Structure 1
């Protein structure tokens, strides 16, 4: 992993060091971003995070913003190809963790209309998130 400074108490900084509840299979990493799959077996919810601890989009460097945009696009292409979802969405949401992260996720065909984007459902595709993440590496 990178030599970037870890901010005490940050769940995403801890995740980048391989510890904590947010650790999921890594799809891609470089000096600027980390892309990983959400922990669990429902396929198609990924995170694009800056390696550097920075809270918001407006605080990213130009290079970080470009790396995030590139990673988000490549994840979306991979999700479309691997899962054939109804939609691929991306969102920067919440303030629960003050470390920039962008969600990229598939809205699977057949998802009940009443479900918001971030809820799992019984019919959602499941499988080995590690193997799925390995497949997605081919898009980077």
Structure 2
């Protein structure tokens, strides 16, 4: 049973980490603490490129429940994800948010705001802009491959 009272086998993010369920998307990188995934393609066969999730491997509901080691790994990884997105995509910004409202398993959204996104699309809504770069499964996999080297860096190289 998870700390939120939900059996871990029923948690959508735990299922995602096993490659199951509706949230399963391409894994960009993982270690003993975290799993970084790209948003999966939708019903139209595409996904907005550069929308990632940094998730705790261990089933915990929120940021306050992470261990110090998990929290340090999350901070370091989110920074590296932001650097990777900025380097590999034409971005105006890279944003991040922790909400935890829909799934009681720690996950941090990290997403590119693509260059040229009109101001009327708020900071959390850039993926709703019809002009946002979208890609098929192959394009998402290609981007994940380009992002992966930024995340696998040894901390001594920072």
Q: TM-score, normalised by structure 1?
A: 0.91
The aligned residue for residue 121 of structure 1 is 129
- Matched residues in 1 for 2:129 and 2:22: separation? 21
Q: How many residues were matched structurally? A: 135
Task: Kindly indicate whether the alpha-carbon contact (under 8 Å) linking 2:15 and 2:21 is maintained by their aligned counterparts in 1.
Answer: yes
- 1:32 Cα deviation (Å)? 0.5
Identify the range of structure 1 (28-37 vs 120-129) with the bigger mean alpha-carbon deviation.
120-129
The aligned residue for residue 39 of structure 1 is 40
SS in 2 for 1:73: helix
- 1:92 Cα deviation (Å)? 0.2
- Matched residues in 2 for 1:137 and 1:76: separation? 12
The aligned residue for residue 132 of structure 1 is 143
- Unaligned ranges ≥5, structure 1: 1-5
Question: For 1:41-61, what per-residue CA distance to the aligned partner results, in whole angstroms no more than 9, with x for missing partners?
Answer: 210100000000001111100
State the structure with more CA Rg: 2
Question: For 1:12-64, what per-residue CA distance to the aligned partner results, in whole angstroms no more than 9, with x for missing partners?
Answer: 00000001111111111011000010012210100000000001111100000
Matching residue within 102, 109, 113 for 1:103 = 109
Q: TM-score, normalised by structure 2?
A: 0.81
SS in 2 for 1:138: helix
Runs (4+) of structure 1 moved beyond 4 Å? none
Question: For 1:45-102, what per-residue CA distance to the aligned partner results, in whole angstroms no more than 9, with x for missing partners?
Answer: 0000000000111110000001111110110000000013000011101411000000
- Matched residues in 2 for 1:107 and 1:94: separation? 21
RMSD: 1.3
More helix by share: 2
